[in-house]
Amino acid sequence: MKRKYTYLVLYVAVVQFCFGQKKIEVNNTDFTIAFGSCNKQNNPQPFWNEILKNTPNVFIWGGDNIYADSEDVLKIKNDYALQNSNSGYMKLKQSVPVMGTWDDHDYGKNDAGIEWSKKKESQQLFLDFLEVSKDSPRRTQHGVYTSRIFEIDKGNIKVIVLDTRYFRSQLKKSANSNGRYEPYDNNEGTILGEEQWKWLEKELENNYSDFVVIVTSIQFLSSEHGFETWGNFPHEVARLKEILLNKKVRNAILLSGDRHISEFSITKIPSLKYPLIDFTSSGLTHSYSAYRGESNKYRIGNVVSIPSFGVLKFDFDSYEVTMQIRGKNNVVLQEFKQQYPKD
């Protein structure tokens, strides 16, 4: 039977009952993910208590978890220590499991990739920050990629965290004076590197999770803005799409950060049973306040250019996922709902 997909964008539209001044949000949520990126350790961090109000089952860092940008390893270490000492973040860590990847500023250098000279030292500091045990295999692998399956009575969700820094080829400078970077031609360059690609294929084959959440620090779908994006390596975009299709990956959702804006992007891959969504949430402490618009042919809804965090609510009975961009006082700034197939 041919399935019909409904793309529904609701702006600050949740079901609420009002009793005087009190608003009670009604939803059917079996599992909740909160995530965010672009977090300056020296800035006020207003969202940790707001995130906890959503009772997440896991919090995921989307990259730029601190702003270090230094060849001084001690500075990076101290910046992580400052973030770990934040009282709101400490409270979240005590309440919720934390996963995450890095992006360029916690990696150690703006827009850096494979060429970064301190990447090995930086990796150990990142794993220290996430409190990964010293005897974990992640301590000896190249890159910070990892996965975890979250089981509940009704099913499970697999979270796959990618590393878009450690192996990534140097970016190609744009020939256009108005641009920053431009796509490679002829299958040149890589984002994940062959070692990580092989790992990812194994993670996705014979996978029976109800949902697969793939975390990538840079945007996967949006590629017209000239900044960092998977679109600078179009053959890598095609490769991931092909894997999702060939491995028959169930209900994959992409989470991204980096851009200091939040938005929903969506595309339909022929023969894939569901639309592929890239949910960008970027700007935990600061945002692209000077944003005046940019093209993104995959965008659904509007760009949110004020500080925000992302929330995903999974209903295993209906297989509906509610994705929300939330801001100050936990207000829903934008919402998108997607129905997924059960088979």
Q: Would residue 305 count as lying in a domain? A: yes
Q: Closest Cα to residue 36, out of 323, 283, 247?
A: 283
Q: Would residue 267 count as lying in a domain? A: yes
Residue 17 has pLDDT above 60, yes or no: no
Q: 20: Cβ–Cβ under 8 A, 6 or more apart, which residues?
A: none
Q: Would residue 85 count as lying in a domain? A: yes
Report how far residue 45's alpha carbon sits from residue 209's, in angstroms, rounded to the nearest whole number: 34
Q: What is the share, in percent, of the chain residues with pLDDT greater than 70?
A: 92
Residue 242's CATH number: 3.60.21.70
Q: Would residue 180 count as lying in a domain? A: yes
Q: Would residue 24 count as lying in a domain? A: no
Q: Would residue 57 count as lying in a domain? A: yes
Residue 284 has pLDDT above 90, yes or no: yes
Q: Total structural domains in the chain?
A: 1
Q: Would residue 11 count as lying in a domain? A: no
Residue 18 has pLDDT above 60, yes or no: no
**Number of neighbouring beta carbons within 10 Å of residue 72:** 12
Q: Would residue 110 count as lying in a domain? A: yes
Spell out the alpha helix ranges (H) of 109-213.
119-129, 193-204
Report how far residue 282's alpha carbon sits from residue 45's, in angstroms, rounded to the nearest whole number: 14
**Cα end-to-end distance, the chain, whole Å:** 12
**Mean pLDDT score of the chain:** 92
pLDDT digits over 108-156, tens only? 999 999 999 999 999 999 999 999 999 999 999 999 999 999 999 999 9
Residue 104 has pLDDT above 50, yes or no: yes
pLDDT confidence of residue 9: 40
Read off the pLDDT band of 28 (50, 70, 90).
Answer: confident
pLDDT digits over 30-41, tens only? 999 999 999 999
Domain that holds residue 332: 31-339
Residue 14 has pLDDT above 50, yes or no: no
